[in-house]
C-alpha cells in the first residue's frame, strides 16, 4: 500500500537555527498537509497546500513557517528560526481527489528537538 514517507525521523537543532522537514506524499495525491503534536498534547493542524499554494493555515503557522513543493515528489516544511516551543512531532499527510470526505494519510512523523 502506498505510504507517506518523512525524513529525517528525528532532528535535533539549536535554537535559532533553520530546519527543513521533508515529506514524500503518496504519488497520485494532490492535497498536502502538515500537523504537529507537542508531547502529551493533541495533534494540531498547521497548513494545507494544493496547486502550489497554501489553501488554509492555522494561527500557529506564522511567518517563521513556510511550505514548498520543490519538485514533483517532495513537500517540505521550513522553520526559519527555531524556538524551544517548536519541539514537537511533525506529521505530513496527503489526500487524493474526491473532496474533503476522503481520508488524509499520514507519515510516521519527524521528531524535532530544539536545544
Partner 1 sequence: AQSVTQPDIHITVSEGASLELRCNYSYGATPYLFWYVQSPGQGLQLLLKYFSGDTLVQGIKGFEAEFKRSQSSFNLRKPSVHWSDAAEYFCAVGARGTDKLIFGTGTRLQVFP
- Residues of this chain that interact with partner 1 (CB under 8 A) are 4, 6, 31, 33, 35, 41-45, 48, 50, 55-56, 58, 91, 93, 95, 100-101, 103-109
Q: HEC states along the chain?
A: CCCCEEECCEEEECCCCCEEEEEECCCCCCEEEEEEECCCCCEEEEEEEECCEEEEECCCCCCCEEEECCCCCCEEEEECCCCHHHCEEEEEEEECCCCCCCCCEECCCEEEEEC
Give me the least distance between CB of 15 and partner 1, in Å please. Answer: 25
Comparison of 35 and 75: residue with beta carbon closer to partner 1: 35
Give me the least distance between CB of 100 and partner 1, in Å please. Answer: 5
Comparison of 14 and 42: residue with beta carbon closer to partner 1: 42
Distance (Å, whole) CA 14 – CA 18:
9
Give me the least distance between CB of 54 and partner 1, in Å please. Answer: 11
Comparison of 107 and 114: residue with beta carbon closer to partner 1: 107
Comparison of 79 and 109: residue with beta carbon closer to partner 1: 109
Amino acid at each position: 500500500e502506498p505510504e507517506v514517507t518523512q525524513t529525517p525521523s528525528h532532528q535535533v537543532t539549536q535554537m535559532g537555527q533553520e530546519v527543513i522537514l521533508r515529506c514524500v506524499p503518496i504519488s497520485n495525491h494532490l492535497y498536502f498537509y502538515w500537523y504537529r503534536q507537542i508531547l502529551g498534547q493533541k495533534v494540531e493542524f498547521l497548513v494545507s497546500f494544493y496547486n502550489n499554494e497554501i489553501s488554509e493555515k492555522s494561527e500557529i503557522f506564522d511567518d517563521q513557517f513556510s511550505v514548498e513543493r520543490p519538485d514533483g515528489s517532495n513537500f517540505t516544511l521550513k522553520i526559519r528560526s527555531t524556538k524551544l516551543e517548536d519541539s514537537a512531532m511533525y506529521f505530513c499527510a496527503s489526500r487524493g481527489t474526491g473532496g474533503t470526505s476522503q481520508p488524509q494519510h499520514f507519515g510516521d512523523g519527524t521528531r524535532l528537538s530544539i536545544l
